[in-house]
């Protein structure tokens, strides 16, 4: 294999992976705030990868423009990542952290515009350290705030935390001034790892063990490619990247096929056949029935408060209902409780993922009103 074509091939595979994920999550009608932050990151990363591909063939003034564009994008990515962490933890970052990320982005933008293609070694090292320190801030926020989140969202935050920590050494290996002489740089694999992790958040599958399963699959793909190419490092990298792309294509293709929306499911199903209806949509088929003994440990007044609402989440304003709902949601790794019956009380716990929106709640409310068993 001509090793000279391997870096562009890896960049191209990473770009395709980001574009697949971008198409999969960019749904303006139902987008939650966290989705908009994720879309911004995907777009910035895609633009960075496009610049790297163009840099392979560019020369002269074109190369100058591409280099400036790459450095500007790299300067603003940390701020975009910090905004995503704010959404995942449901809290604003400290003012000093925001100022650090904003001032760093503005500062390196200024350096990039005035220096052009001639980025000095100290400037490159400073950019790498700025990125690493901003990632360290994000990791600190995730670690400190994870205990305040419901179990499902805590698992999503943990998934992102693991991926973020793993990307630090991979991303830093892209800086030749820090790690010279590497045959295979890690920046592309940092992109693939982050896209795999964040794509898991969309459908409630954002748990660390599933990200680890993705990593194992990718490493297995790399190992198979290495065996076929007698242990060549280039083949290993291509095998890992290709496997990651295949996982993303399959994931979003399945999501488009399976998730036609609850309203569509209700319109095409027999709502009088509760069992068939619950088996007709992936969000519902994975739900867990909560009734009888599972509710006996809670005060009757709390359960009565819970039954007053067709759908309950941990954001419900009624404190009595919210407290017992949080406990039940945590116990069943769910985001919403759907009332199936008021007496005796019976609920369906479902996980709509970290990207659930008000539209999701409205659809679940329509479902609850249609299938609820009268008292």
Tell me the average pLDDT across 179-198: 84
A 10 A CB-CB count for 345 gives 20
d(CA 43, CA 24): 13
Give backbone dihedrals phi and psi of 300, rounded to 5 degrees, phi first: -60, -35
Confidence at 30, pLDDT banded by 50, 70, 90: very low
Q: What is the pLDDT of residues 200-222, one digit of tens each?
A: 776 555 678 888 999 999 999 99
pLDDT-wise least confident of 23-37, 49-63, 82-96, 298-312 = 23-37
> Mean pLDDT for the chain?
81
Tell me the average pLDDT across 10-27: 88
Q: State the angle between helix axes of 33-57 and 60-89 in degrees (0 to 180), rounded to the nearest 10.
A: 160
Confidence at 16, pLDDT banded by 50, 70, 90: very high
Res 115 pLDDT > 90: no
d(CA 198, CA 171): 17
Give backbone dihedrals phi and psi of 290, rounded to 5 degrees, phi first: -120, 115
Report residue 367 as tokens. 């479902």
Res 269 pLDDT > 80: no
The percentage of the chain sitting over the pLDDT mark of 90, rounded to a whole number, equals 26
Tell me the average pLDDT across 157-166: 89
pLDDT-wise least confident of 38-42, 51-55, 265-269 = 265-269
Q: Tell me, what's the pLDDT at 265?
A: 67
Res 275 pLDDT > 80: no
Most confident of 29-33, 67-71, 158-162, 265-269: 158-162
Among residues 162, 151, 249, 258, the alpha carbon closest in space to that of 213 is found at 162
Tell me the average pLDDT across 288-309: 85
Q: Which residues have C-beta within 8 Å of that of residue 120, sequence separation ≥ 6? A: none
Are 328 and 337 in contact by the 8 Å Cβ rule? The answer is yes
Most confident of 28-32, 233-237, 271-275: 233-237
Confidence at 56, pLDDT banded by 50, 70, 90: confident
pLDDT-wise least confident of 71-85, 177-191, 249-263, 293-307 = 249-263
Q: Tell me, what's the pLDDT at 28?
A: 47
d(CA 269, CA 274): 10
Res 152 pLDDT > 90: no
pLDDT-wise least confident of 42-46, 171-175, 369-373 = 369-373
d(CA 110, CA 254): 44
Q: Tell me, what's the pLDDT at 239?
A: 92
Q: What is the pLDDT of residues 310-335, one digit of tens each?
A: 888 877 777 778 788 888 887 777 77
Tell me the average pLDDT across 59-68: 80
pTM of the model: 0.75
Report residue 85 as tokens. 């962490």
Tell me the average pLDDT across 14-29: 81
Q: State the angle between helix axes of 208-228 and 151-172 in degrees (0 to 180), rounded to the nearest 10.
A: 40
Res 47 pLDDT > 90: yes
Q: Tell me, what's the pLDDT at 270?
A: 62
Q: Tell me, what's the pLDDT at 348?
A: 87
């Amino acid at each position: 294999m001509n090793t000279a074509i391997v870096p562009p091939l890896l960049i191209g595979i990473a770009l395709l992976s980001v574009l697949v994920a971008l198409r999969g999550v960019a749904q303006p009608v139902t987008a939650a705030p966290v989705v908009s932050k994720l879309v911004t990151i995907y777009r910035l990363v895609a633009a960075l990868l496009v610049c790297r591909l163009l840099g392979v063939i560019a020369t002269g003034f074109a190369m100058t423009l591409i280099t400036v564009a790459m450095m500007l994008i790299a300067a603003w990515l940390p701020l975009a990542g910090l905004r995503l962490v704010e959404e995942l933890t449901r809290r604003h970052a400290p003012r000093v952290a925001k100022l650090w990320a904003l001032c760093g982005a503005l500062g390196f933008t200024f350096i990039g515009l005035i220096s052009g293609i001639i980025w000095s070694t100290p400037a490159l090292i400073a950019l790498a350290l700025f990125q690493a320190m901003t990632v360290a801030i994000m990791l600190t926020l995730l670690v400190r705030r994870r205990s305040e989140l419901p179990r499902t969202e805590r698992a999503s935050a943990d998934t992102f935390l693991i991926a973020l920590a793993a990307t630090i050494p991979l991303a830093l290996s892209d800086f030749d001034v820090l790690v010279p002489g590497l045959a295979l740089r890690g920046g592309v694999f940092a992109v693939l790892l982050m896209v795999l992790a964040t794509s898991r958040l969309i459908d409630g599958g954002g748990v660390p063990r599933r990200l680890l399963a993705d990593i194992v699959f990718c490493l297995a793909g790399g190992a198979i490619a290495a065996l076929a190419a007698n242990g060549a490092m280039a083949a290993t990298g291509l095998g890992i990247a290709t496997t990651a792309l295949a996982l993303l294509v399959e994931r979003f293709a399945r999501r488009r096929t399976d998730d036609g929306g609850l309203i569509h499911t209700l319109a095409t199903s027999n709502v009088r056949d509760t069992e068939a209806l619950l088996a007709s949509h992936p969000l519902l088929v994975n739900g867990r029935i909560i009734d009888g003994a599972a509710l006996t440990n809670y005060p009757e007044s709390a359960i009565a408060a819970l039954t007053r609402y067709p759908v309950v989440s941990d954001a419900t304003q009624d404190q009595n209902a919210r407290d017992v709902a949080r406990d039940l949601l945590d116990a069943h790794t769910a985001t919403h409780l759907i009332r199936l019956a008021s007496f005796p009380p019976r609920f369906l716990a479902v996980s709509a993922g970290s990207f659930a929106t008000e539209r999701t709640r409205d659809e679940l409310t329509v479902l609850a009103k249609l299938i609820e068993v009268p008292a």
